[in-house]
Every structure is written in C-alpha cells, then in structure tokens.
Amino acid sequence: MSTTISPKDTIQPVEASAEVKAVHQQMLRRQKLNRAATYGVAILIALWILVPIFLLGSMAFTTPEAVRTYPKGVLPFIPFSFETMNFFLQSEGIIPGLINSIIVAIITLVLSTLIAAPAGYATSRFLFPGRDFFRLSVLAVRAFPIVVLSIPLAVVFINLGMYDSVYSLALMHTALALPTTILVIGSVFASIPYELEEAAQVFGCTPFEAFRQVVLPLVLPGIAAAGVFTFVMSWNEVFAASILTVQNRTLPAQVLAVLGQSSEPYQFAGGFFMMIPALVFIFFIRRYLFNMWGQVSK
Amino acid sequence: MTDERSSPKTKKRKKINWAPYWLILPSLIYLALFFIWPMFRGLGLAVYNDEAALALQSEPSRDAATAGTLPQGTQVEILDQQGNLIPPEEAEQANLITEVWFQISAEDADGNPVEGYVSESRIRVREENEAGIPTAGSVRTRIGAGAGTLTDIYSEANENADVVGQLEARAEVAISGLEILEIWYQIRGEDNGQAVEGWAQSRYIQVFGETETGRIDRGNTGQFTTEYISRMVNDRFFWPATITTFLLMLLIIPVQFVLSIVMALVIQARLKGNSLFLYVFTIPLGISELAVGILWFSIFTQSGFINSFLQTTGLINTPITFLSADTRYWILIAIWLAEVWRATSIVMVIVVSGLQGISDEVLEAAELFGATLWQRVRHVILPMLKPSLQVALILRTILALQVFAVVIALSGGDVVTVLANETFRQYSDFRNANVAAAYAALILVISMFSAVVYLRMIRSQEEMAA
C-alpha cells in the first residue's frame, strides 16, 4: 500500500461493493422503521392523554340531555351546545368560587414572586457561606406535602380569627409555591451570564441600572413562566382550599364539597372548566418546565 | 451550579458581603412562619392536649394559689359560686357564664342622691344610646315573700361589698356604666380517688340543670397524650387507608417510570412536530387532581364511556358496575389509571432534563457500535439517568402520599380511602383537628423519611459535580 494518495484516487468515485450497499440499505431501512415506530409510540401516548380530555370536553359542550343519555356519544355525534357549561357556571357558589380562586391565585403569584425573586437572584449571583444549606433547605421544604401543613395552619388561623378567608388561603398557597419559585427564578438568573451585567457596568451603568436595563428584560419571560406555573398550582390546589375555607370556597373546593350530591352534567362541565387554564397556560410555558424541574436533578 | 459566574464577588470575600443574606431573608422568614412553625405545631396537635386538665384555685381569683388539678371530663359537685370582674376583651370567649352589673345614680328610699352598683337583674332598662348601651332604667319590683321591697346598692360590683343605699321599687335610675362579671364556681371532684376542691371559672365548666353538679368541659393545662394517635390507629378506616396508600404507590410508580422514560425518549428523538408532542405530553402536569378524578369518573361510571363503548359495539347487553363497594379492585384500577395519566408528566419532565445532560456523542457512539434500543436504554441511558430518576422517585413517593381528590371523585371517599383522605375526613366531617393532625403527622414521618434520602442523594450528587 502506498503512503501517498494521489488526487486521482480521491476524486474518482469508487463503486461500493454489493455487500456494502446492502448493509447501507438495511441501515437506512432500519432507521426509517425506527422513526416510524417512534412516531407510532408518540401518537399512541398523545392519544392516551388527549382522548380522555376530548371525552370530558364532549360532555362539557353539549346539552344536559345528551350527558344523561346512555350509551354516551362524543362530539360531533351529539349536539354541540353551551348548555351544560352554562348550567355549571350558573350553579350556586360557582361564580363566587371562581372569583375567590382568581383572587387567591393572583395574590399567591404576586407574593411568591416578590419574595422569591431576591432569593433566586442571591442564590445564582453570590457565593456566600450557607448558600448550599439554603438551597438544600428549600429543596427539602418542597418535599413536604400540603396535607401536613393544612391542619396546623387551619388551627392557627382559627385562633387568629383569620379562618375561612381567601387571604389566609393565599398565604398558605404562597408557602407552597415559594420553594419552586425560588429554584426556578434562581435557574433563570443563572442562565444569564454575569458578564452581561459587568459589561453594562463597564459602560457606565450603576449596578441597579445594569440589572434593570440588561438582566431584567432577559429574565422576565422566565419569571413570568414561573408566575404562570404558580397561578396554575394555586388554581388546582384543592386540599388546603377545602380545609381552610368554609363559606369563601375556591372553585375546586366548592366543586369537591358538592361532588357527592351533584348531577353528572355539573361534574363533567366543572371538571372540564377546571382544566382550561392547564390547556392554555402549559402551552405558553412548556419550554420553561425543564428549567423548573430540571433544577432538581442538577 | 457552576461557580465561575460569581467570581467577581468572591475575590473580595474577606469582607462579608451581606447583600445575599438580605436578599434571602424574606423567603427565610416566610418559610419559617408558614412552613416550619406549622409543621411543629402540627406535630404538637397530634400528641399534646392543650385542655387536658383544669387547675383549680384556692380562692376565686386567678392570682390565688393552685389547689390541685382535675382531668378533663371529671364530674364535679358545685359548692358555691361568685361573680368576678373580667377584662372586656375576654367577654367574647366561648362558654362564659356572666353577670352584668350597672353603675347607677339615683335617689334612694330616703330621697338622698346615691351612687353605686346594682345587678342587671334588678333593673328594667328604659333607654339606650345609639350603640345599644343602656343609659336609664327603673328598679324592678321584688317578688316573693320575706325579701323586702327595697333593692340594695353596693359600693362595688359584688354582692359581698358594702351596701351604700337602698332603692324603692320603680325608682328611676341613670345608668353610667356597666361591668361584666364571670361566674366562678367552687367545685369538688375526684381524681384517682382523691378529692380535689377549689375554684374555677365558668368557661371551663359545663353545669347541669339543677346547678349542683357539672363536669369539666375543658382544661387550661396541657399534657402530652397518646390519645389521638391511638384513636387514629383504632379508627376503622386507618388500616384500609394505610394499605391502599402504599398499594397505590407500588402500583403507580413503576408504571410511571417506564412510561415517562418512553415519553422522554420520544421527545429526545426530536421528531417533526416535537414541540406539539411536548405540549401534549405535559398537559396533565397542569390539570387539577380533582378534574382528573372527574375525568376518569366519566369514563368508569356506570353510564360512562367504557360501558357506552362496549354497549355500542355490542360486547355487553347491560352496563357493568365498576365503581361500587363490591368491585373495589375496579376503583383501584381507575385510581391507578388516573394517577398514571396525571402524574407521569412530571417524571417525564425530570427525565427529559436528565437526558439533556447526556451528550449526544455518547448515544451516537452506542448506536454506531450497533447497540439495539434496549441495549442503549439498559447500559447507557439508565445508568446516566440514575440521579434524575432517584430524584423523580422520591418526589413521586411524596406526591403519592397526597393523592386525595382523585380518590374522592372515584370512590366517594368511603369505599376506597387513603391517608390524605382520612386527614380530610377527620378534620372536616368529624371536626377533630387533633386526630387529623395525627394522620398528618404520620404522612409527615413517611415524607421526612423520604426527604432524608432525597437530601442525602442531592448532597452526594453535588459532591460528584464538584
């Protein structure tokens, strides 16, 4: 074998042997097959998630008569109508519950972001003694279930005369949301290089200006995503809401309280109504979900 | 976390930089107030009875020496009673038996002006101001023989005080103030065969009709007790709830892990429309537990979608009853499906984040060397995902302890029950915060056990990363 390769050798295409071609063909076929199989699996899983939602949606957007008929049909084979949903929304306690839910979720969102943002900034920008301990404690706190907190807080709120109020429920939801929010905001800040802030300071910004003009616009979408997640969490939370409120129930607490005595149109429309924020908001924050939960396994 | 980004600050570490501490302070305070303190309070509620015993006073005064204690629920004899002034802020307390005394000025039986105190029961109120406070009235007529017709006025709001004058029946009086007295009872009861006698405030005593006997309704001294825990363990729902909770964990978690790894691999394959698949796969993450319960109820209920499907396709003639006490296993299956449906997304997100940490080169190399999918998963992906999977496992274990609304929606909360549901039932239906706290404490202990493992794991990971 010669050690020098003449230009001719490289230019002239070499006919691959039939054997090599066959292997190549086989690999291509296998890759195609794999791809098709992956699509198949992806579509199956998507159906597993979407079909139940569609079934419930069919019940929510039809007439109560169609809900009560057996065997049940699905849209578009049953009449499309807002009657069931209207019936649910006009039931006793639903509109007040909806308002309470939104109030609680918004207070929770604002409060948890205000408290968590500085902590998130501190853990991502400073190396200080106790930082790891702080982050570990936050992680540990997140591991505790809502169930454990609700009972003592209910007793405390009763003693303080703050029981059955949307504000005390929002305080509790903030406590639940805080650990996640701190970690997420921390990871959002960590994704912005400190050099950017430094550069802004070199160009004459004060540290605060550098933060406001350079960092804030970059982290805002991430913080907003964390806020949306907090909103959805508070909107969904049913255990603490049922324990801490009696008259001023939030929407899930109200639905749960009357679940046993309510009709199927009410239950199904209510179930679907509670899903709507998830369907809408998850779409916008799906990219950030990995920021939120990826943090844990880092 | 990488450290190079904080380099500019760390160089001047000699002087302590207080800024980060100020920044984390609000969240520390908040978590201490609304997380750590309630946690301890909850443990306290489970093992400590605030009202276990009543301390009796030797005199009808709070400052008097303690004459002994009687446990809550003791039957007592009432020997005597006396009214004692209480501060107005305590007048709102529950179960007080009070007497009201008016401070009045009037003309006494001899026509001399007199000022003093007289019990409310002796005055008929004639006038009140806008706030509803009486301002004027007249003396009631005394009924009954031997009582005399005159009403005594005392120098203080107390029948043992000096009499400063006497009023005739129907005499007009001006009311200038009122004082609220709480009744104190002198009681005698037995504790372990020993007679204890002393004074106690009416708020602690439940008096029976003839006012000679009563029982200690609640105490003012706390004691540790195992009563709540034994009531929890002896509750007929305790063992079914515990067993179901662990059974569900065992059923749900393995399936979730397999499914979430498959989902993560699909996402990682970056198909066309990947973003859409990602959206669909993460939808359940944001759906409330209650809505998921209702969703699967609509599928499994007697006139639900499974029966509708089977009936339409002619496989059955009459609907099958899935969710009834006779078919508990179907309820378990429904809860299992609902939880797998709902909570797999979170595990998937964690696994995807973990997968992103594995470099593509490693996977490509494995593929190039002809490793099959199974071999790649078994020998490359799983070992590298181990940290993420451990975290997801613990998180799932803890979240599985919270399954609650799904169970209520699918079983009504009676037929099949879990620990979280029992906590709720004890609190809401039985109004027993202490037994509920015992359940919560049990869940806390299980969670803490998991959390310790969780923490250790993360620490070892951080050491590995460092």
ipTM score over 0.90, yes or no: no
Based on the fold, state whether residues B74 and B162 are members of the same structural domain.
yes
Based on the fold, state whether residues B300 and B398 are members of the same structural domain.
yes
Based on the fold, state whether residues B340 and B461 are members of the same structural domain.
yes
| B84 in any annotated domain | yes
A52 CB neighbours in chain B (<8 A) are 295-296, 299, 341
Residue in the block written with tokens 């004692």: B84
| B155 in any annotated domain | yes
A243 CB neighbours in chain B (<8 A) are 424, 427-428
Q: Do B27 and A34 touch (CB under 8 A)?
A: no
Closest CA to B104 of B116, B90, B86, B87: B116
Q: Do B278 and A137 touch (CB under 8 A)?
A: no
**Number of structural domains found in chain B:** 2
B377 touches chain A (CB under 8 A): no
Closest CA to A223 of A288, A298, A290, A297: A288
| Under 8 Å between Cβ of B103 and B153 | no
Q: Do B281 and A270 touch (CB under 8 A)?
A: no
Q: Do B433 and A242 touch (CB under 8 A)?
A: no
Share of chain A above pLDDT 70, in %: 92
| B37 in any annotated domain | no
pLDDT number for residue B462: 60
Based on the fold, state whether residues B159 and B298 are members of the same structural domain.
no
Residue type, B175: I
How remote is the C-alpha of B242 from its chain's centroid?
A: 19
Q: Do B278 and A286 touch (CB under 8 A)?
A: yes
Shortest distance between the Cα of B41 and any Cα of chain A, in A, equals: 6
How remote is the C-alpha of B164 from its chain's centroid?
A: 54
Domain's final residue, options B225, B254, B274: B225
- Cβ atoms < 10 Å from Cβ of B62: 11
Q: Report DSSP letters for B306-371, one per residue.
A: HHHHHHHTTS-SS----SSGGGHHHHHHHHHHHHHHHHHHHHHHHHHHHHHHS-HHHHHHHHHTT-
Residue A279 pairs in a beta bridge with: none
CA distance B38 to A240: 13
Q: What is the pLDDT along chain A (298 residues), one digit of tens a residue?
A: 445 555 555 556 667 788 888 888 888 888 888 888 889 999 999 999 999 999 999 989 988 888 888 888 887 778 888 988 999 999 888 999 999 999 999 999 999 999 999 998 888 888 888 888 888 788 777 767 778 888 888 888 888 888 888 999 999 999 888 988 888 888 888 878 888 888 888 888 887 888 888 888 888 888 888 888 889 989 999 999 999 988 889 999 999 999 888 888 999 999 999 999 888 888 888 777 776 655 443 3
Is B338 a residue whose pLDDT tops 90? yes
Q: What is the pLDDT of residues B82-112, one digit of tens each?
A: 777 777 677 666 677 777 888 888 887 777 8
| B414 in any annotated domain | yes
B459 falls in which pLDDT band (50, 70, 90)?
A: low
- Cβ atoms < 10 Å from Cβ of B159: 14
pLDDT number for residue B296: 94
| B81 in any annotated domain | yes
Q: What are phi and psi of B360, to 5 degrees?
A: -60, -30
Based on the fold, state whether residues B296 and B375 are members of the same structural domain.
yes
Q: Which helix (H) or strand (E) holds B412?
A: none
Q: Do B298 and A279 touch (CB under 8 A)?
A: no
Based on the fold, state whether residues B307 and B451 are members of the same structural domain.
yes
pLDDT number for residue B333: 92
Q: What is the pLDDT of residues A7-41, one digit of tens each?
A: 555 556 667 788 888 888 888 888 888 888 889 99
* Prior bond of A76 cis (ω within 30°): yes
Based on the fold, state whether residues B221 and B299 are members of the same structural domain.
no
B294 CB neighbours in chain A (<8 A) are 56, 259, 267-268, 270-271
Q: Do B447 and A143 touch (CB under 8 A)?
A: yes
Q: What is the pLDDT of residues B250-278, one digit of tens each?
A: 899 889 989 998 998 888 888 888 888 88
- Of B211 and A194, the one with more pLDDT: A194
* Structural domains of chain A ordered from first start: 18-90 (no CATH), 91-297 (1.10.3720.10)
Closest CA to A166 of A100, A106, A105, A102: A100
Q: What are phi and psi of B56, to 5 degrees?
A: -95, 145
- Write the CATH number for B373: 1.10.3720.10
| Under 8 Å between Cβ of B147 and B65 | no
pLDDT number for residue A194: 81
Q: What is the pLDDT of residues B349-379, one digit of tens each?
A: 888 888 877 777 887 787 777 777 788 888 8
Which residues constitute the domain of residue B191?
Answer: 52-225
Q: Do B409 and A45 touch (CB under 8 A)?
A: no
A136 CB neighbours in chain B (<8 A) are 455, 458-459
Domain's final residue, options B184, B210, B225: B225
| B21 in any annotated domain | no
Domain's final residue, options B200, B225, B250: B225
Residue range B279-298: mean pLDDT, rounded = 91
Based on the fold, state whether residues B193 and B254 are members of the same structural domain.
no
| B257 in any annotated domain | yes
Residue range B204-218: mean pLDDT, rounded = 79
Is B34 a residue whose pLDDT tops 60? yes
Share of chain B above pLDDT 70, in %: 92
| Under 8 Å between Cβ of B67 and B198 | yes
Based on the fold, state whether residues B215 and B235 are members of the same structural domain.
no
* Prior bond of B240 cis (ω within 30°): no
pLDDT number for residue B7: 47
Based on the fold, state whether residues B183 and B244 are members of the same structural domain.
no
| B15 in any annotated domain | no
B31 CB neighbours in chain A (<8 A) are 137-138, 141, 175, 178-179
B138 falls in which pLDDT band (50, 70, 90)?
A: confident
